[in-house]
Amino acid sequence: MKKQPDALYELEWRSYRAYLPLDAKSGMYWAATFLAILAAALIFLRESVSIESVFAFGAILVALLSGFTSLFQSLAIWENGFREWWLTFPVPRRDLIRAKVRAAIRMQYYTAGSIWIVCCLYGLIRAAGGEGAEPIAADRLLGDWIAYGCLFAAIVPLCTMIGYALLGMYYGWRRWFLIPQFFVSLLPIMSFSLVSSASEDIQRWLRAETVFLYAGIALALAALLYRAVMAFVARYGMAELAKHRPGGHAAGSRGGRGTAVRSRLRVGHGFAALYALERARFRHFSSLRVVRILYVCAAALAGAGAYFAVRERESGLGMIQILLIFLVVVPPSILSTLTQHDANKRRIDWWLGLPYSRLSLLLARMAATWASIVIWMGGLVAAAAVGAALRGGGNFVATFDFGRDGMLLLYMAALYVGLGITVSCLLFGQSYSFRHKLVTWIYFPIVTGIYFVPMMIGKWMLDEEAMRSGVGMTHWLWLAVATAIAAPLAAICLRLGARWVHLYPFNTQEAGRRNRASRRAA
Amino acid sequence: MSNIAKPTQEGSAAKAPAIRCRDVGMTLKKKSILANVTFEVEAGSLTGLLGPNGAGKSTLMRILTGLVPPESGTVELFGAPAGPERLGVLSFLPDRGQLPPYLTAGEWLQLAAGLYPDWSRAAERDLSGKLGVDPAQRIGAMSRGEEARLQLLTCLSRQAPLTVLDEPFTGVDLVSRERIASAVVGEMADGERTFLIATHDIREMEQLFDRIVLVGDGTIRGSHLVEDLRRSGRSVESCYREVFA
């Protein structure tokens, strides 16, 4: 068997190369993205957060990008049309996966390097501005640059390997490994509030000398994990990849025969049938064993979090707020990718060919997505309520003022649900960008901005003071003004989405690849 | 559901051609896909839309069915402009399209009966047997041939007067091809339905076509009655070779 690791690596690297700033246009995208992150950091993080906390945010971002990108790669490979070609290359299975991992790590180093530069610039601007209670010494800044640079470098392979471990966990008893992987993947997100704390104890853990230690530990773990994951994936994942057939998970575990969904399928006529069709997708997804395991883990996490965190009114309301934030982020994220996914999978022609107005198609999709998320969130809220009741439920009820806090809860629900629906409608209008490329420049910030929405709400619509003393007339007035602006905008975007949704079949991943290839050839 | 036409033909519309396509043009990413496409398909006929890969057949099919509006020109179905609001009068099988893989065939057909106002349970039962569709099988686990047969079953279980099939034989085995072709013949028996079929499998369908429309490089390269071709001693295949070889 002749080894060709370099050719393999080159093949894998080619799939990432297109995303690098190698020409003026993509260079502009990269610069614009990272300048936007720098500007957002300077606006939102200037007053209350230390430079070390900002570097720690950067480390979390690197961990999330490395981890989730490799997770998505590990998921996408099962349905990739090139998979069978790839598996028939006459090289050891370990070389196949090694080339893939090395290319992914290299790509993530470019991203991590850019984030590190943004953090360094942020520190430099803060130091030059001379803000804060104490001046920022040059040696402290330099120490942070080097220490966090080392940490970023160690996090990339560590998180990439955690993500690629998923390749071996698709079938059989190995699916139980999903539980620890799920918790480990959530660790960076959960660390956000911890590293933003101004507490002296926490800040001590973020200083350069301690961070060097973290970097060393992370690097050692990455080296160990690299060997372990390679062996694990080569042993189990590659064999399962060869056996897998696209849509295999959709086929279920009963040899592709099933009646489970049918018994729950209530089909009406017209819009009700359209809604049932969309809901069937989420019903099937939540019936998968892997998803059930992860959902039980998430419910356990919500219950445990409430048990330990909810003592009285403030912490209880804080927990509810965290759960409500999901309504702003999750449904719009799903809706913005669902239609594109259907187009990539060649299912969209059937959907567009249904004898219904395009607006009905979009509304049914939105209703089914929201209903599914609300049902799933309901389960998590119930788990959190049980957790809170077991420990501090009595204190929470005793300190809860039904007039003031009831109004606050109502305001929070109106704010987050209203915002979630508005963002969902705004994102439907994205199909108009297929018609006019300039529109992409409006939608790119909206899509990336979704994840900053909770921060913006905390700053402008529901600050800490409102969470402490309740909301007044001013809050409701601002909400009414925001609704008056957002509702027509949402309606326009929904109409635009319905008008141009037929352009999705011409803008699939396959069409994009063909266009890029013909541009290169030209 | 609003403004979706019911599958009935009334008054003068019944006499109009099933499809009338005039000067249709389409450009995508500055590349001309279709230019000045003009042809008609008579009601009750079976027309073949033939052409090599990349000729623009699938884009033309999407325009004819009203899924995509043309950039120039007009398309009429039974005398009224094509568009999403006319999807009730036609039944479309997309090229390499896929049904939701997470449903069983039975679940999909159950949903389809609710989704399509012109669904016929009797036709569904009849065709399920003829096409050999197992209602308990999950779509994601089906072979290409099985899924192609289920998709055709979905199209033919409707009472829409126009059926448009885009490459119904792609990746389909011999037995499935025969089943699909015989199902189409069976549906043609009443002479009320109109079929437009884009295919590469000329030999399979040659005996069924009333008319062929040849598309190449985004333009119409010819339109012939098959009977006229036969009278002149030519076959569909030889005509195709003359134009595209």
Q: SS3 letters for A434-487?
A: HCCHHHHHHHHHHHHHHHHHHHHHHHHHCCHHHHHHCCCHHHHHHHHHHHHHHH
The minimum CA-CA distance between B214 and chain A, rounded to whole Å, is 23
Residue with tokens 């598996």, as numbered in its chain: A87
pLDDT of residue A264: 56
The minimum CA-CA distance between A78 and chain B, rounded to whole Å, is 14
Strand-pair partners of B24: B37
Task: Tell me A504's DSSP state.
Answer: G
Closest residue of chain B to A284, computed from CA coordinates: B102
A253 inside 8 A of chain B by CB: no
Whether the pTM exceeds 0.90: the reply is no
* CB contact (8 A) between residue A249 and residue B114: no
Closest residue of chain A to B160, computed from CA coordinates: A355
**What would the DSSP string read from start to end of A225-250?**
HHHHHHHHIIIIIHHHHHH--TTHHH
Separation CA A452–CA A460 (nearest Å)? 12
pLDDT of residue B27: 86
DSSP H or E stretch at residue B145: helix B144-156
Q: With contacts defined as CB-CB under 8 Å, which chain A residues touch B97? A: 346-347, 349-350
Q: Using pLDDT thresholds of 50, 70 and 90, give the confidence band for residue A4.
A: very low
Q: Are B164 and B65 within 8 A, CB to CB?
A: yes
Closest residue of chain B to A266, computed from CA coordinates: B111
The residue among A239, A111, A231, A58 whose CA lies nearest residue A161 is A231
pLDDT of residue A262: 47
Q: What are phi and psi of B189, to 5 degrees?
A: -55, -35
pLDDT digits (tens, 9 = 90+) for A53-75: 889 999 999 999 999 999 988 98
* CB contact (8 A) between residue A250 and residue B87: no
Q: What are phi and psi of B50, to 5 degrees?
A: -115, 145
Write the burial class of residue B53 (CB in 10 Å: 0-12 exposed, 13-18 middle, 19+ buried).
exposed
Q: Using pLDDT thresholds of 50, 70 and 90, give the confidence band for residue A393.
A: low
A280 inside 8 A of chain B by CB: yes
Closest residue of chain B to A285, computed from CA coordinates: B102
Which two structure tokens, joined as six digits, stand for A101?
A: 């991992």
Separation CA A163–CA A77 (nearest Å)? 13
pLDDT of residue A516: 65
Q: With contacts defined as CB-CB under 8 Å, which chain B residues touch A245? A: 141
**ipTM associated with this complex:** 0.74
Q: Which of A146-150, A348-352, A510-514, B178-182 has the highest mean pLDDT?
A: A146-150
Separation CA A158–CA A344 (nearest Å)? 31
Separation CA B214–CA B238 (nearest Å)? 12
Instruction: Say which residues have a Cβ less than 8 Å from residue A332's Cβ, sequence separation at least 6.
Output: A420, A423, A424, A426, A427, A450
A81 inside 8 A of chain B by CB: no
Instruction: Say which residues have a Cβ less than 8 Å from residue A335's Cβ, sequence separation at least 6.
Output: A365, A366, A369, A424, A427, A428
pLDDT digits (tens, 9 = 90+) for B167-219: 887 767 777 777 777 777 776 656 788 999 998 778 777 788 889 999 999 99
pLDDT digits (tens, 9 = 90+) for B84-135: 888 889 999 988 888 888 889 999 999 899 889 899 999 999 889 888 899 9
Q: With contacts defined as CB-CB under 8 Å, which chain A residues touch B65? A: 353
- Mean pLDDT of the A423-434 span: 88
Q: Using pLDDT thresholds of 50, 70 and 90, give the confidence band for residue A135.
A: low
Residue with tokens 């479309």, as numbered in its chain: B92
- Of A304-313, A403-412, B136-145, least confident by mean pLDDT is A304-313
pLDDT of residue A385: 84
- Mean pLDDT of the A191-215 span: 85
pLDDT at A451 over 70: no
Residue with tokens 């009068």, as numbered in its chain: B89
* CB contact (8 A) between residue A251 and residue B138: yes
pLDDT digits (tens, 9 = 90+) for A359-386: 999 999 999 999 999 999 999 989 988 8
A2 inside 8 A of chain B by CB: no
* CB contact (8 A) between residue B140 and residue A251: yes
**Which one of A274, A275, A277 makes the best mutation probe of the B interface by having the most chain B beta carbons within 10 Å?**
A277
A288 inside 8 A of chain B by CB: no
pLDDT digits (tens, 9 = 90+) for A67-123: 999 998 898 888 777 777 788 777 788 888 999 999 999 999 999 999 999 999 988
Closest residue of chain B to A345, computed from CA coordinates: B98
Q: What are phi and psi of B24, to 5 degrees?
A: -75, 130
Separation CA A392–CA A306 (nearest Å)? 9
The residue among A222, A463, A497 whose CA lies nearest residue A332 is A497
The minimum CA-CA distance between A496 and chain B, rounded to whole Å, is 15
The minimum CA-CA distance between B79 and chain A, rounded to whole Å, is 18
pLDDT at A337 over 90: no
* CB contact (8 A) between residue B98 and residue A345: yes
A248 vs A244, A414, B136, CA distance in Å? 6, 41, 16
Q: With contacts defined as CB-CB under 8 Å, which chain B residues touch A265? A: 107, 110-111
Q: Which is it for strands B19-28 and B31-41: parallel, antiparallel or unpaired?
A: antiparallel
Instruction: Say which residues have a Cβ less than 8 Å from residue A44's Cβ, sequence separation at least 6.
Output: A452, A455, A459
* CB contact (8 A) between residue A262 and residue B69: no
The minimum CA-CA distance between B204 and chain A, rounded to whole Å, is 25
A247 inside 8 A of chain B by CB: yes
* CB contact (8 A) between residue B62 and residue A505: yes
Strand-pair partners of B211: B47, B225
CB atoms within 10 A of CB A421: 19
Closest residue of chain A to B152, computed from CA coordinates: A350
Q: Using pLDDT thresholds of 50, 70 and 90, give the confidence band for residue B12.
A: very low
Q: What are phi and psi of B214, to 5 degrees?
A: -100, 125
